[in-house]
Amino acid sequence: MKMTPLEIQQQQFKVRLRGFDVREVDHFLERVADSVADLRDENKQLHEDLRRLKMELQGYKEREETFKRAMFNSQTVLEQMKDNARKSADIIIADAETKAEKILNRAHNRLSQLHEDIAELKRQRIQIEVQLRAVIEAHTKLLDIGKEGSDALDAEDDKIQYLTTSK
């Protein structure tokens, strides 16, 4: 049974002939001793609990620090990954732009070449048309000359026939 400080202060012993009642004092001292023992045990238990809680707290603090470091490292890694992804994206975009520019340049060059080829074909067509006209005109002249010669020969044949029939 626990005693309070007030109970100890208010404890009154009966006075006897030779002083306080020894049994009452002994009984009180036993109660005080039991209370002090209980308090000592409780104090010891509380100190043990305090020590255990301090150790747990230290463990939690260490875990918290570890967690904070892990979070910081994770954040750092995440930022590095984002930066790397941005850089990779920039490189891919730059590469795509370079390839697109090369494709456009090749297309422009091919278009230019096609225009030149078309112009050359037009020039060749005109040249062939001129040559064909010249050949046609030459053949027409030859036909005309041949026809004139043929007409002259026919006229001479007609004269010869006329002369041969008139005789």
With residues binned 3-state (H G I as helix, E B as strand, rest as coil), the percentages for the chain, rounded to 5, are: 90, 0, 5
Structural domain containing residue 36 = 5-166
What gap in Å lies between CA 34 and CA 2, rounded to an integer?
A: 8
- State the sign of the Cα–Cα–Cα–Cα dihedral 62, 63, 64, 65: positive
Does residue 12 surpass a pLDDT of 80?
no
pTM, rounded to two decimals: 0.45
100 or 28, greater pLDDT: 100
What gap in Å lies between CA 71 and CA 85, rounded to an integer?
A: 20
Q: What percent of the chain has pLDDT over 90?
A: 58
Looking at residue 1, its pLDDT comes to 60
| Structural domain total, the chain | 1
Of the pLDDT bands very low, low, confident and very high (cuts 50, 70, 90), residue 28 is confident
What gap in Å lies between CA 135 and CA 141, rounded to an integer?
A: 10
144 or 93, greater pLDDT: 93
User: Is 25:13 a contact under the CB 8 Å cutoff?
Assistant: yes
Please state the rounded mean pLDDT for residues 63-68: 96
- Cβ partners under 8 Å of residue 150, min gap 6: none
